[in-house]
Amino acid sequence: MGCGRAHRLGGWTLEMRIPFSSLRYTDRNPQTWRSMLYRIYPHEFWYQMLSTTWPRGVDCWVCRSNPLHGLINLPSGGSLVVAPYVSERRSADPETGLGSSLASPDNHVGLGADVKWAPGGAT
């Protein structure tokens, strides 16, 4: 995930990049998602900033979130990512004590893979 911000005369703007591959959603067109941005700004007081209104006594977070309309032709989920790796560990002890040559090193080679499956929204 990447993000950036720009300070302007009347405040600031935040831009966030969230990869679609990290989310689960259906392939329906168009889609409507909901979002709520929440920031805690600890200063001399504990300030809370929300992208929506939050009246006292309301206990439904989803009900107060902002709709995002018009999301169409989003890339489909359900991907499989395989990342192979090789690792090596080498250790050796001094032959006769500190300051002497190292004995023949002990090598350990490891092979493996990291596998990540991101199921689609219908899974």
Same structural domain, 57 and 98? no
State the pLDDT confidence band at 112, using cuts at 50, 70 and 90. Answer: very high
State the pLDDT confidence band at 122, using cuts at 50, 70 and 90. Answer: low
Domain residues for the domain of 45 are 24-74
CB-based contact 36:64 (threshold 8 Å) = yes
What pLDDT is attached to residue 89? 87
Same structural domain, 69 and 88? no
Mean pLDDT for all residues in the chain: 81
Residue 123 has pLDDT above 60, yes or no: no
Which range is least confidently modeled, 13-22, 31-40, 65-74, 110-119?
13-22
Picking from 58, 74, 90, the residue at the C-terminal end of a domain is 74
Same structural domain, 34 and 64? yes
For the entire predicted model, the pTM comes to: 0.48
What span, in angstroms and rounded, lies between the C-alpha atoms of 91 and 104? 9
17 Cβ partners below 8 Å, 6+ apart?
Answer: 1, 2, 3
Same structural domain, 91 and 70? no
Number of domains in the chain: 2
